[in-house]
Amino acid sequence: MYRAFTAADQFSLKPDNVFLLTDGLPTLGKSAPRGSTVSGKKRGDLFREASKVLPKGVPVNVILFPMEGDPGAAAAYWQLGLASRGSFLSPSRDWP
């Protein structure tokens, strides 16, 4: 997410929207993780780090696919959509 948002910020023309399809909070940041697992707290930190490099004034529209074990993801992405004047959608588990 960090690298995607950084790339979007470097476009010669600012994007009018960003569409983010994800299954949870990020596990990668500016650099590779040190270990083989990433804690929930670290994933939240990576999310906040990536959010800081998002181009200003660009709405982020999030589609969060349901996954177990990431209880903070829905709230974080909902807030991102709200703060950026974008949207948030999470389809139900039985969605085709």
Tens of pLDDT, residue by residue over 42-62, are 999 999 999 999 989 999 999
d(CA 26, CA 20): 12
Check residue 86 and give its pLDDT: 98
What pLDDT is stored for residue 93 in this prediction? 81
Q: How many CA atoms lie within 13 A of 60 on its CB side?
A: 27
Euclidean distance between CA atoms 25 and 40, whole angstroms: 8
What was the pLDDT predicted at 94? 81
What percentage of residues in the chain have a pLDDT greater than 70? 99
**pLDDT for residue 44:** 93
Distances 34 to 9, 21, 29, 31 between C-alpha atoms, Å: 26, 25, 11, 9
- Helices 40-52 and 73-83: crossing angle in degrees, nearest 10, is 10
Mean pLDDT across 13-35:
89
Token output for 43: 């994933």
Alpha-helical segments (H) within the chain? 2-9, 40-52, 73-83
